[in-house]
Amino acid sequence: MKLSEIGAEGLISRIVQKRHLPSSAPGLVAGIGGDAAVISPESAGMLTLVTTDMLTERTDYLPHQITPYQLGWKSAAANISDIAAMGGLPTWTFASIGFRPETDVEYIDELYRGIVECGNCFGSILAGGDTNSVLGDAVISITQLGRVEQNNLARRSGARPGDRILVTGCLGDSLGGLYLLLRLGLAEALSASKNLIEAHFLPMPRIPEARAAVGTGFIRAMMDLSDGLAADLPKLCRASGVGAVVYAERLPISNHLCTGAERLGISAAELAEGGGEDYELLMAVAPEGVPSVTQAIEETGTRVTDIGEILPGGIAIELAGGERRPLKGGWEHFAGEQS
């Protein structure tokens, strides 16, 4: 069945029937069926977080490679990761989609299932959105609300010289997966490395890790790595008015990436440095707090690595031989390619 056959109201009824969009939930005064969702006020001392992120067909994904479930998950995950970056908890998800009228309704079902399951994993509820018809490329625009206690709010701007730079998880897996997909196509890429493809299509927002980290009181600055270390570390440094050095040999690289990089003929370190869509946390940590932060994050089951330190100025990566050079790679949106 096509979207054009059931129409926008039919689609919304279907989303509700499939329990993707609840008619009631604690804190949701009115959800589906009105002109706007109505949400109870946050309890005292809680700040509201709002982030929004759009994915479009061909620019951000290729529909013959990513499943609709993965597309929904990834759209939600990118937003929830921004809530993690601020030290918060996700609360409400709003999904606006634009799809061609000839799109199968089952495709949209799966898309919503991905959005909703990702949200539910981290405590967020789908509370509304918009369904649109488009003539060309499909588009998914998610707005994610969250909450954070005033004293847990993390920003990019608090890093000071001497702070250690920590990252969660491994870097470069998502980019490695993307390169495999572009070079080999889906079937061969999957057989080359299912893990890297999953890292690209099903990223895990670091909500428990972020909450554990800010709970220690030692996080001076934090952000999520969506555009890659080479593009994102300079943003954190600029916001804080500092510099940084990271050590190439310390960048956390998965075994999967080593194997995949070999297949691609690219160095795994380069993929980790450029990265993009890792959705790991990048943190500047007060030096005396490194053991506490490390322990708190490791207790969530996720590794954390000290990759360098904040300097008064200049941003560089130090290679094995001790040579320092600027960081390379990272995503620039309107250039439309890795620059």
Tokens of 272: 């980790």
- Residues 14, 16, 22, 48: which binds a second copy (CB under 8 A)? 48
Sign of the Cα pseudo-torsion (273, 297, 92, 107, in order): positive
Return the number of the residue (41 or 322) whose C-beta is nearest a second copy: 41
- Residues 15, 21, 49, 269: which binds a second copy (CB under 8 A)? 49
Q: Name the minimum Å distance from CB 308 to a second copy.
A: 21
Contact 307, 247 (CB under 8 A): yes
Kindly write out the interface string for residues 88-107 of this chain, putting x where it contacts a second copy by CB under 8 A and - elsewhere. Answer: x---x-x-xxx--x------
Q: Name the minimum Å distance from CB 193 to a second copy.
A: 27
Sign of the Cα pseudo-torsion (217, 219, 223, 229, in order): negative
Contact between 332 and a second copy (CB under 8 A)? Answer: yes
Contact between 163 and a second copy (CB under 8 A)? Answer: no
Contact 338, 276 (CB under 8 A): yes
Return the number of the residue (225 or 310) whose C-beta is nearest a second copy: 225
Footprint (CB under 8 A) of a second copy, residues 108-147: 127-137, 139, 141, 143-146
Return the number of the residue (89 or 264) whose C-beta is nearest a second copy: 89
Contact between 241 and a second copy (CB under 8 A)? Answer: no
The DSSP-derived string for 193-231 is: -HHHHHHHHS----HHHHHHHHHTT-EEEEEE-SS-HHH
Q: Name the minimum Å distance from CB 104 to a second copy.
A: 12
Q: Name the minimum Å distance from CB 145 to a second copy.
A: 7
What are φ and ψ of residue 83, in 5° steps? -70, -40
Strands 281-285 and 164-168 come out as: antiparallel
Return the number of the residue (42 or 110) whose C-beta is nearest a second copy: 42
Task: Kindly indicate which of the ranges 52-60, 118-126, 247-255, 314-322 contains the residues binding a second copy, using the contact rule CB under 8 A.
Answer: 52-60
Contact between 53 and a second copy (CB under 8 A)? Answer: yes
Task: Kindly indicate which of the ranges 117-125, 149-157, 169-177, 284-292 contains the residues binding a second copy, using the contact rule CB under 8 A.
Answer: 149-157
Identify the CA nearest to 296 among candidates 210, 180, 174, 175.
210
Task: State in Å, rounded, how far the first CA of the chain is from the last one.
Answer: 42
Q: At what angle do helices 207-215 and 290-298 cross, to 10 degrees?
A: 150
Contact between 56 and a second copy (CB under 8 A)? Answer: yes
Contact between 23 and a second copy (CB under 8 A)? Answer: no
Contact between 36 and a second copy (CB under 8 A)? Answer: yes
What does the alpha-carbon distance between residue 217 and residue 211 come to, in Å, rounded to a whole number? Answer: 11
Task: Kindly indicate which of the ranges 25-33, 244-252, 297-305, 321-329 contains the residues binding a second copy, using the contact rule CB under 8 A.
Answer: 25-33
- In the chain, how long is the greatest CA-to-CA distance? 64
